[in-house]
Amino acid sequence: MTAETLDDLHGPLWEHFQALSRIPRPSRQEARARDYVAAVADSRNLRWAIDEIGNIVVYLPATPGMEKRDTVIVQNHLDMVTVQARDKVHDFTRDPLQLRLADGWLLADRTTLGADNGIGCAAALALISASDLVHPALELLFTVDEETGMGGARHLDAELLCGKRLLNLDTEDWGELYIGCTGGRGWSMECEFGLDLVPDDHVGGELSLVGLAGGHSGLDIHLQRGNAIQLLADWLNRAGLLGVRLAQLDAGIAHNVIPRDGRVRFSCPGRALPALRALNDQLLQVWRSYLPEADAALQLSMESVRVERVLPEESQTLLCRALLMLPHGVERYATAQAGTMASLSSNLGVARLEDGALYIELSLRYFRDSEAESLTAKVLSVSDSCGFSTARILNYPGWVPDPDSQLLQRACEVYQRRFGEPPRIKLIHAGLECGVLKHRLGELEVISFGPTIRDAHSPGERLEVATVAPFWQYLTDLLATL
């Protein structure tokens, strides 16, 4: 039976997911979600521990007859990406998510849903709450600060865990088992520019760019969706020929989110306004001619505002050159048997200019350190040639696949037995915590799986309800055989 209302979503897993959806949990502000995990553990008199960085581990004893089996780690992250539509007022530090169902998908009202990775957290909590399960001793690990650089996993107290097999529940295509993921590097770039007074014959304006789809900088990067920073840089480069002078720029929210909207404040000669409006119409037509269907709602709007100070022309040229030269998108695809999955990519995620202070964030994803070296050199070369100060904000290892893993073989057998067909074995062009945890915990067998999620890291994030029940059944079947 298809769920038509939220009341149709029954059982411990859905109850925990809806409870987590009422708890604000941005990265580095997961305390209330962690308290909820501890309260669920306390309700069953289970032991739990929190390390210095804020990760929590709940220790779930083996069920009768499973006491001699090896301990298994079930791992998820508590934090979520916090993105809202421009027309949505939502405080992610205070407001609960507003859930809704539409055509078999669970969404939030114009905000990220937090199914990444809240549905995995809910499944782990359901292992505590559900009755009649069979499983070995479990260490339920809930990490923090995953979305901004895997800080929880990188600083995990390894002494809290003894398991040597790990199930990560943070991937987003049901029917697929993941055995490898990309590593990541990221940088911030900063520069301080002087400002000029607005020329006497200039008027002030603000250009807003909205309607791009945005999305996850790993899972969606191969879709070639528009990047608001790149498009605004294109606009600024052309508008500069009409005498436009830049005052402010604001686009993007994080290094791992494809920028979906942005705005520019500027001044220009009053006589240039008709030509500027014509340029806006021309660029919209050009951009729409090559952007994917997901970006069909792209719009530009312009209004008059007061502007007092702008960048000098040479500083504006330098900034515009940097934004046009910094890489964004897929640089290399994986081998033929991996299909069209990206192997190396970059995401130009944030660009802000306020009172002459420039701030940029950019990150790379890659499977092998060696393949990222040339792109790293390009990023640093652009930054250095523009005189920007650069700081590393991100650096974590990838997860090297082990196709001969005994855990993987068992996982495939269980899937085949339950669903009558083999799972698809995949690598993922995204940063899971698996590589970091293998580095922290030493010898470790790992697989990752989860229900189907689409458009993570965007207000369109949605969870396919029909995939949650088989995901839960598979998780419990697998634990019963380990």
DSSP state of 199: P
Sheet-wide strand order for 445-448:
47-50, 56-60, 138-143, 72-77, 165-168, 445-448, 176-181, 424-428
For residue 420, which amino acid is it? G
Pair 71, 420: CB distance under 8 Å? no
How far, CA to CA in Å, does 477 sit from each of 61, 191, 412, 433, 453?
17, 55, 12, 24, 22
Q: Is 274 exposed, middle or buried (0-12, 13-18, 19+ CB in 10 A)?
A: exposed
Question: Residue 82 class from Cβ within 10 Å (0-12 exposed, 13-18 middle, 19+ buried)?
Answer: buried
Tell which residue, 301, 297, 349, has the closest CA to residue 326: 349
Phi first, then psi: give them for residue 123, nearest 5 degrees: -65, -40
**Pair 224, 217: CB distance under 8 Å:** no
The set of residues, in sequence order, having a beta carbon less than 8 Å from that of 385 and lying 6+ positions away, is none
Catalytic residues: 79, 146
Can you say whether the dihedral through the CA atoms of 110, 349, 324, 370 is positive or negative?
negative
